[in-house]
Amino acid sequence: MWHGDQLKVSRIIKYTLLIFVLYIALSTFTSMIVGVDNLAALSFGEYFTFQLLPSSVLAVFLYAIMANRSVTKAWSYAATVFSFGFILGVIIVSAIMQELYISPTWFIELPISLVSVILGTFIGIKWGHNKVIAT
């Protein structure tokens, strides 16, 4: 691997933390709107609308920005940031719960998260290529 082919650790950390903090802020905001006591009573449609859809839109936007800034390494950055973010989330939630905690809705959330990452990265790459063509 050439020196220029390496991913920048600082960029990975920056995007992982940025995405993590913005997810927390968005989740806090939507929980305040819906009400923490009402979260367990949400139907799937409401859960999708208030919890999954906003975070998916945010992920698409953030991964598109990240991919646009480094088109040639976009997929590597996306996979690395997603992996580190996922691991960080599991560690923090497990520490809070004081046990290894995997969300009971992981089978819904994980595929949606992966689709958001792929879509955002794809959009960012296309956006980056169009920007190069326009100049």
DSSP states along 59-78: HHHHHHHHHHH-GGGHHHHH
E strands present in the chain: none
- pLDDT for position 5: 64
State the pLDDT at residue 54.
94
Structural tokens at position 115: 């689709």
| Integer Cα distance of 112 and 51 in angstroms | 12
* 104: enclosing H helix or E strand: none
Around Cβ 102, how many Cβ atoms within 10 Å? 10
Distance of CA 126 to the CA centre of its chain: 19
Per-residue model confidence (pLDDT) at position 121: 98
Mean pLDDT by 10 residues, the chain (135 residues): 71 95 93 77 86 95 95 95 95 95 91 97 92 66
Q: Report helix angle 9-34 to 74-97, nearest 10.
A: 50
pLDDT at 1: 40
Confidence at residue 6, expressed as pLDDT on a 0 to 100 scale: 83
